[in-house]
Amino acid sequence: MIKEIVKIIENTKIKRPLVHAITNNITVNDCANIIHAAYGAPTMAQDEREVEQITSLCSSLALNLGALKAQDAMLIAAKKATELNHPIVLDPVAVGASILRSDTGKMLINNAKISVIRGNASEIRALAKGSTTTKGVEANKTDRTTEENLEEAINMVCQYSLQTGSVIMMTGAIDLISDGKNTAIFRGGSEMMSRITGAGCMLTALTATYCGANPDKCFASAVTAAAVMNVSAQIAEKRVRELMEGTASFRTRLIDSVSMISNEQLFENVRFEILKK
Site string for a copy of itself, 118-157 (x = CB under 8 A): -----------------xxxx-------------------
Assess 37 for contact with a copy of itself (CB under 8 A).
yes
* Residue from 11, 149, 259, 269 in contact with a copy of itself (CB under 8 A): 259
**CB of 36 or CB of 144, closer to a copy of itself:** 36
Coil, helix or strand for 31? helix
163 makes contact with a copy of itself (CB under 8 A):
no
Please state, in angstroms and rounded to a whole number, the distance separating the CA atoms of residues 143 and 264: 34
Separation between Cα atoms, residue 216 and residue 20, nearest integer Å:
18
Paired strand residues for 168: 117, 178
- The smaller minimum CB distance to a copy of itself, of residues 131 and 252, is found at 252
Nearest to 35 by CA among 258, 260, 218, 192: 258
Cα Rg of the chain (Å, integer)? 17
**Interacting residue with a copy of itself among 82, 131, 149, 252 (CB under 8 A):** 252
Alpha-carbon distance 149 to 152, whole Å? 5
Q: Which of 26, 34, 32, 31 is nearest to 66 (CA)?
A: 26
What is the rounded CA–CA span in Å between residue 123 and residue 140?
9
What is the Cα 143 distance to its own chain's centre? 18
Phi-psi region of 186 (alpha: psi -120 to 50; beta: other; left: phi over 0): beta
Binding-site size for a copy of itself (CB under 8 A) equals: 56
* Positions 172 through 231 that interact with a copy of itself (CB under 8 A): 195-198
> In the complex, what is the shortest distance from the CB of residue 184 to a copy of itself, in angstroms, rounded to a whole number?
26
The answer to whether residue 36 forms part of the interface with a copy of itself (CB under 8 A) is yes
- Interface with a copy of itself (CB under 8 A), residue from 82, 149, 159, 249: 249
Q: Which residues pair with 41 in a beta bridge?
A: 18
Binding of residue 53 to a copy of itself (CB under 8 A) = yes
- 264: contact with a copy of itself by CB under 8 A: no
Stretch of residues binding a copy of itself (CB under 8 A), selected from 54-62, 123-131, 179-187, 262-270: 54-62
Q: Which of 8, 28, 76, 154 binds a copy of itself (CB under 8 A)?
A: 28
Of 102 and 166, the one with the shorter C-beta distance to a copy of itself is: 102
Rounded to the nearest 5 degrees, what angle is found at the Cα of 99, between the Cα atoms of 161 and 172?
Answer: 45
Question: Which is it for the CA torsion 234, 238, 239, 243, positive or negative?
Answer: positive
Q: Return the number of the residue (30 or 179) whose C-beta is nearest a copy of itself.
A: 30
Q: Which spans of this chain sit near a copy of itself (rule: CB under 8 A)? A: 18, 24-30, 32-33, 36-37, 41-45, 47, 49-50, 53-54, 57-58, 68-69, 94, 97-101, 135-138, 195-198, 244-249, 251-260
